Amino acid sequence: MTTTTEVSAMSKAEIIAELENMVAARLFSGQPWPADPETISADHRKLIQMGLLEQVRAEPQTCRTTPLGKELDVDLFQAFLGFWYEWEVPLILEEYGLLNEPESNAILECTSDANAERLKRAYFDYRNRRTASNPLALCPAEIAGVTAIPTLTTNHTTN
Q: What pLDDT digit, counting tens, does each position of 51-95 carry?
A: 999 988 877 878 899 999 999 999 999 999 999 988 888 889 999
Q: How confident is the model at residue 133 (pLDDT cuts 50, 70, 90)?
A: low
What is the SS3 assignment for 63? strand
Task: Tell me which H or E stretch contains 133.
Answer: none
Q: What pLDDT digit, counting tens, does each position of 108-121 carry?
A: 777 566 666 777 88
Taking the domains of the chain in order of start, what are their residue ranges? 9-143
Output b/e per residue, 97-127; b: 16+ Cβ within 10 A: ebbeeeebeebeeeeeeebbbbbbebbbebb
CA atoms within 13 A on the CB side of 120: 24
Q: Which residues pair with 57 in a beta bridge?
A: 62
The whole-model pTM stands at 0.71
Q: H helices within 86-150, ranges in order?
A: 89-95, 101-108, 112-130, 140-143
pLDDT of 24 > 80? The answer is yes
152 burial via Cβ count (<10 Å: 0-12, 13-18, 19+): buried
pLDDT of 12 > 60? The answer is yes
Q: Can you give the pLDDT at residue 148?
A: 44
Q: Whole-number mean pLDDT of the chain? A: 78
CA distance linking residue 24 with residue 14, whole number of Å: 15
Q: Can you give the pLDDT at residue 111?
A: 57
